[in-house]
Structure 1
Amino acid sequence: MARSKSARTAAPEAQGAKQLNRSLGWLAVLGAILAVAGLVGLVYTGFATLTSMLLFGWLLLIGGCVGLLHAVQSRGTNFFWLGVVVAALNLAAGVVIIRRPDVAAEALTMFAALLFLTGGVFRLVGSLVVRGPQFGWTLVQGAFGLLLGILVLANWPSSSQYVIGCFFSLALLFDGLGLLAAGLGGRRIVSMVAEGPDSGRPGGRGGPEEPEQPVQTEESLKAKPEGQEQSHN
């Protein structure tokens, strides 16, 4: 009886572990694809820049269409005109980026360089003024951001051909490596949890089965002392 109950409870657990392993395997495959795409993008930065800009433009178009439908559904409220304006801006920006991805890349590269410059200056000034426990790390971050902004602006607009693609490829690479590590590590943990507790128990997967003990009833317990008295006589 105990063995049948343990078998019934072990079957759903094994099925759940297999499904979780399959999901984690697909996660690892997705991470590997993203990591390979990031490496290819780092080699062909111009193609990665063009691809990222076109993808960004189509995302703006889809977001504008969805926002316009949502605004139409909420007509008669205060959100209607705001939703229409935001959707129109998204649609216009998407059309401009898709038609002229090179000009859009130049504008985004200039915007990114200005962000690096302002962020680096604020981090440098803040680290020198506050001098907190993370003084050295904040100082290095500020100097790196300032130097990167200066380098991008010094080579602009030619730097727009590879800056966006390089950042996009690095994001794909690190995201892919993170998903790959999570998938492989999760599969290893699931296998350890599924096999570890049963390996040291008798009757489990890794040990010999424990022989079944006979069930002692009340009649057998009463008959046992009588048999022992006859053996003593």
Structure 2
Amino acid sequence: MLEKLSANLARAALTAQGAIAEAALRQAERPAALQPDPFHVAPALTDVMGRLASQPDRMVRAQADLFQQYLELWQSAARRAGGEAVEPVVRPDKGDKRFTDPDWAENPVFDVIKQSYLLTSNWLNSLVSEVQDVDPIAKRRVEFFMKMLTDAFSPSNFLVSNPAALREAMQTQGASLLKGMENFADDLTRGGGQLAISQTDYQMFKIGENVATAPGKVVFQNEVLQLLQFN
């Protein structure tokens, strides 16, 4: 088992290394113009953060509130470690499927990781959403990207902090990690060095076999569309 696990981990590492090296070479062949802020978030962020900085009393209250919530979480974790049944300090929103695996609640370590993330992400998002006297468009833009940022840092997105991914890796002796790296390499290759995440298995569809099987022809086309007529 350990030999197969080690072999799969080594192959996954080599696959990732090769994919990243190939992506770097392709990017070097066609250098793009530097666009550090293509969505123009920086001006909106400056506006919102400037408004927050002008309200130090509110920032102090917000930080004190976050500290209090973390204190409650630490106390709850300590009581649970002592064998006491405790209620969560914070729960995922209804419909949040990132934390449906039982270990997110049953395993004390992953439970603390989950709740720590939820406390911080909720705090950051509410901090932005409660800002007043700013341009509403700028505020919505910052809210959107703050949500994207906090979602990106979810512990469910990382192997070492995702119980389901860790369990799958152990049960498959690393094959799940190897498959993930192979998909990553395929996406980089398909995107010509840029990550083009696939939404389907391209190997499943073959023209004339299981797609576009009916005889037909193009009867009209222009710059916008092609009109097909099937027999």
> When the two structures are superposed, what TM-score results if normalisation uses the length of structure 2?
0.21
Higher strand share: 2
TM-score, normalization: structure 1? 0.21
Quick check: which one's helix share is greater? 1
